[in-house]
Structure formats: C-alpha cells, structure tokens
Amino acid sequence: MFRKFNFVRVAAAIPETQPGDVEKNVHHIIKLLVESSEKGADIVLFPELSVTSYTCGDLFRQKALLDSALTGLEHIKDATKDITAICIVGIPLMKDTMLFNTAVCLHRGSVLGVVPKTFIPNNNEYYEMRWFASANEIRKTDIELFGETVPFKSELIFTSSDRRNFSFAIEICEDLWSVIPPSSRHSLQGAEIIFNPSASNELAGKASYRKRLIINQSGICLGAYVYASSGTGESSTDTVYGGHALVAENGKLLAESKRFLQNSQIIFHDIDLDQIRHDRINNSAFSKGQRPLDNKRETYSHISAKFITQDVTKELYRHIDPHPFVPGTLQNRKLRCEEILSIQSSGLATRLKHTGIKNTLLGLSGGLDSTLALLVTVEAYKKLSLNYDGIYCITMPGLGTSNRTKNNATALCRELGIAIQTVDIISSVRQHFKDIGHDGQTTDIVYENSQARERTQILMDTANMKNALVIGTGDLSEFALGWCTYNGDQMSMYAVNSGVPKTLVSYLITYYAESRAENAVSKILKDILDTPISPELLPPDSEGNISQITEDTIGPYELHDFFLYYAVRFGLPPQKIIFLAEKAFKGKYTNKSIIKWLRVFYQRFFSQQFKRSAVPDGPKVGTIALSPRADWRMPSDASPSAWLKDL
C-alpha cells in the first residue's frame, strides 16, 4: 500500500562483526538481510567493509582474508536470489594490482555494480592509504565478479524499474567529509537517495557532529541520506565503534539507531519520493546547479534494478505528525515560539518605523487571533521602546457576542495596561439592515457579514482619527479557507497573523501563557484558549453562550492545517493526503470524515482565492504563505475538478 504513494523503505543494518571472521560476519549480514526483506525493505545498507570488518589493518594484505571475503560475498549474493531487497555491503576488492575499499550492490542473485571509495583518509585515526587506492586511480571502469562483468566506479546511479522509478547512489564514509562530497554530484545527476556505508569511530562529541553533517547533506542534496556505521564488534585496540545508523530527508532527521549495542540492530524508514521531487522541481538553484556538471554527465552509468516487491506490512515506518506546523518536541518549543514571535513583531516594528507611525489599533474580540495580534503588537512596542499608550484596542460587541469573550478582551487589556474602548455595533447594524431592506431577523450571510464590515469601518475610521495603523488579526488557516468577510475582517493595514495557521496560533498563546505571562494574564489567556472558536456573528443561545461554532461548519482546524501543509508545501494529491491523514489521526477521525472535510478544504481553497488576491501585507513565518505577491500565485477562476475527482 505505501509503495503506491511513492514511498521507498530503507533499512540501515548494523551486524555483529569480528575482524577477520568473514564466515561469522556474513552469517549476521544474511540474517539481517532476510529480516529486513521480511519487513518490506526495498534497500538494505550495511557498514563499510562489513564482510571482513573495517579494523583488519595489515590483514587486508593477506590473500587468505581477501579470498575469504570474495567467498563470503558470493554467499551473500546467492542469498539475495530469494530476497526482494537490494543489498549494499562493504568489502575489500583487488583490481589492477590495487586494493579498493568498495560497496557492492547486490540484487536477486546478481551484482548490479561496485562503488569504490573516492577520498581515502590518512590521519591519526585512519591509515587507509596504507592499504587502499582511491576511485580516482581506477584504470578500467568494470570488474569481473563471479563470471559477470559489472561496472566499477564511483559515478553509478541505480534506478528502479517499477512505477516509482526512483534513483539512488553510494558514497563511502570519508567521501561525506570531503569539501565537495560525491553525493552532491550524484544528486545533481538524479540520485534521490544516497547510501553511505561507513566506519566512523566514536569520540566525545563526534556523534552530534556526524548527525549534523548527514542532516545538512540531505538538505543540500534535496534528497534522502541513509547512513550505517560499524558497530562495537570492531577492534577496540585504539578506538571504539558505536554502530551509528541514521536516516535523514530534506534536512530533517527521520531515524537514528542506539549506539554502543553489543548485538545486531536495524533501523527502518520510509522515504517520501514525492516530497523530494517537489522540492527539487521548485528549487531553481538545484536545476541550475546541474549545468556546470553537464560535461561530466557522460561519466555516469545508470543501472536499472527490477524490483519485485510486495507490501508485507501495512505499517508505515514514518511518523506522520498530525500538527505539522507545530514544533514537535518540547526542546524546540521555546526557541521556535520565540523565533516566530520575533518574526511577527519585527515585521510590525519595521512597518511602524518606516511609516513613522507610533500608534496601532486592534479590534479585540476575546478570541485566539486578536489575542495573538495584541501580544505581537506589545512585543513590537518593546523592540521600539515605545509606550503602550500608543496601542489602542476596541471591542465591538454585536448580535452574536458572548459575555465570556467580551469580558476576556477587556480583562486582558486591563492586565496588560492597555486602554480599551467599547463600541456597541448592534444599533448601527440594525440601522444598516433597515437602510438596505433586510428584515434584521433572517440570520443569513448578510446578517453575518454586515457586522464584520461595520467593525472594519469603525477600525479604519478610528485609525484615521488617531493616526494609527490597523493591525489585522486573521490567520493563515482562515485565509486558506476564505473564512473571512471580503472587505471586512479580511482587510487591515498590516496582518501580523497572516503567516500563522490556527494550530500554531493556539500553540503560541499557550507558550506565552505558560512561559512569559504574569499569573493574571496567564489565567485570561488560558480561558481564551478554552473558548470555542467562533466568529460570533449569530445570536447566543438562551443562556448567553456561543451558538456558532466555526469547526461545526467548516471542519476541524487541525485537519485543515494538515491538508494545507501537504497540499501546498509538497503538492501532494488528495488520495495521498488521505493516506497520511489516516496514519496521523488514527483513532480520532474516520476515513469518511477525513474525505468529507478534505472535500470542503479543496472547494473552499479554490473558490476563495479572490480574497487571498487582495490580502494586506503581513510577515511570512514558515515554509507556507499565501501572499499573492510572493508565495502563492493562483488564478481566482481555477477549477478544483481534478482534485475532487481524485477524491
């Protein structure tokens, strides 16, 4: 099932090894290879020189070891006849009177190709130049193995012949640490996944540096990077090896092994080809980077591997975060929230400084968005060392306003030391109904939007009176769904929340309440967070409570934010978004419910583009923004038919 949606399952395996004991090493390699294949792996990576082990030293000059290694490699090759997965295994190989440190790619009983190491270290920790030649010293780019002539060079791109049609390449250990790693060139030549069989010893602090290096290289290559390093079975004569395995994709760590285990282990992960391909298509620097290498294109050989795979498990070896806009770990929370608040407040501070305006005006409803906008405005004033006297707030109770939201708005301003004015709009809206011939009783779209536009008129005119900038409160999720009144709450003079989706709005306010606010302010913020999301444009119930719940009408914001992230950030089709949503929200939303609200998302997203075409300025805070001036150019008349048909 997961392969249908362009996932590739990779495995990084750390076998038990012992220097020189090829038979034992091969036994553990085959055991892990079988286990990986049984769990649906497409490609299994083993560490550098894993057939012999890496720390054999001068034993690499012994014919007995080299012959034994070839025999062991043949056993592994034969074992792959009944295994669907590709195997990448490290072995020393003789060629042209030179010894090479190589990675051999095996599949279905055949050798697909051999990749020799390019950068051979010769330092205090590694003396490989004592035994091994570089790929740059190769005289002939093929080798005879087990009666087959196979490619032998670093410039090999392996491509699957199934519907996914993905490509991968190999570099070995030190290659990654070079100034221009071979993986950079491999990626520009089409490799979407890089495999690195390695033997990197453990030093204090080295693992974190190694991890950063791999994550960064995956980001630089706009692809996936799979890494497997030798385990504790290596010689401990002068160094220790920890068995570090990692999988990274597009600059993010996806999986990591435990280090220093005394037995074998495997980590699995599913690489999303669609995300890689989307980023490459949309990154002009990547496509332009290919041109300087055009003269080297002919040096690359492309090898096809015919995959015969079956989904042996429905489990997806990939965490799908139900809230992709929200920081995933508490460790990142403070840093990320402070950064977002700084982006928002710096944008506003710059706009105030540029215009010479020192006053701001906000319509404060007691809801999430206007609360965050006020907190951002306060932060901007701190940056500019301005007195809060320049912050003006107006609460405008109307036909649907509840006492809870009105009281929270006034209490928040009181505790922050900010003046707030109350302007009741009920009489003016009723007069407007009379003027245009509306009965004032029918709770239709006119009934709702008249209130929103009346509030905007009050804000704009009051701002003129006070020489103030009207701060917009609408968020990214509302702009995506068009859940705003055209020329009503859609309009402002600077929209500080326009790059912040609803799930992140809640998260930021929660952070502010728990980490930065005084007790009294924190208490108010927490009550605002507990208040149902509502535009409060329809009359309250008989007990004065909110009757109009936004999510009852348009669907859960957490689902819409999920849809927005994968539809806009990666351009995924509806069926794949449904597949991911089912994994992310397992047990919370049914397939039927996900499809229902995804249909609503597409219908609203397409039909409401005309509102986004006229949004005011506002700061982008994440990878997704819908400003028509920079990030999202979409015709207002575009049809969603292809997307709805895919549903």
What are the residue numbers of the active site? 48, 117, 173
Q: What is the dihedral of CA 412, 416, 421, 427, to 10 degrees?
A: -10
Q: How far is CA 362 from CA 419, 459, 475, in A?
A: 11, 7, 14
φ, ψ of residue 636 in degrees (nearest 5): -65, -20
Beta strands in 387-531 (DSSP E): 391-395, 420-422, 468-472, 494-495
The set of residues, in sequence order, having a beta carbon less than 8 Å from that of 514 and lying 6+ positions away, is: 522
Q: Rounded to an integer, what distance in angstroms lies between the CA atom of residue 636 and that of residue 517?
A: 42
Cα–Cα dist 276/216, whole Å = 15
Q: 72: closest CA among 95, 46, 98?
A: 46
Compute the half-sphere exposure of residue 345: CA atoms within 13 Å on the CB side of its CA: 20
Question: How far, in Å, CA of 443 to CA of 539, rounded?
Answer: 9
Comparing CA positions, the residue from 399, 403, 398, 406 lying closest to residue 424 is 398
Cα 319–Cα 322–Cα 166 angle in degrees, nearest 5: 45
Q: How many CB atoms lie within 10 A of CB 182?
A: 24
Q: How far is CA 374 from the centre of its chain?
A: 29
Q: How many Å apart are CA 622 and CA 382, to the nearest integer?
A: 23
Give the residue from 599, 528, 588 showing the smallest Cα distance to 558.
588
**172 and 178 in contact (C-beta within 8 Å)?**
no
Burial of 590 (0-12, 13-18, 19+ CB in 10 A): exposed
Are 168 and 43 contacting, i.e. CB atoms less than 8 angstroms apart? yes
Beta strands of 232-366 (E only): which ranges?
A: 245-249, 252-256, 265-272, 301-305, 359-363
Integer Cα distance of 424 and 548 in angstroms: 20
Quote the CA–CA distance of 213 and 181 in Å, as a whole number: 11
Return the axis-axis angle of helices 519-530 and 502-515, rounded to nearest 10°: 150
Sheet holding 245-249, edge to edge: 252-256, 245-249, 224-229, 193-198, 167-170, 156-160, 301-305
Question: Tokens 């060629």 belong to which residue?
Answer: 95
User: Beta 391-395 vs 359-363: how paired, if at all?
Assistant: parallel
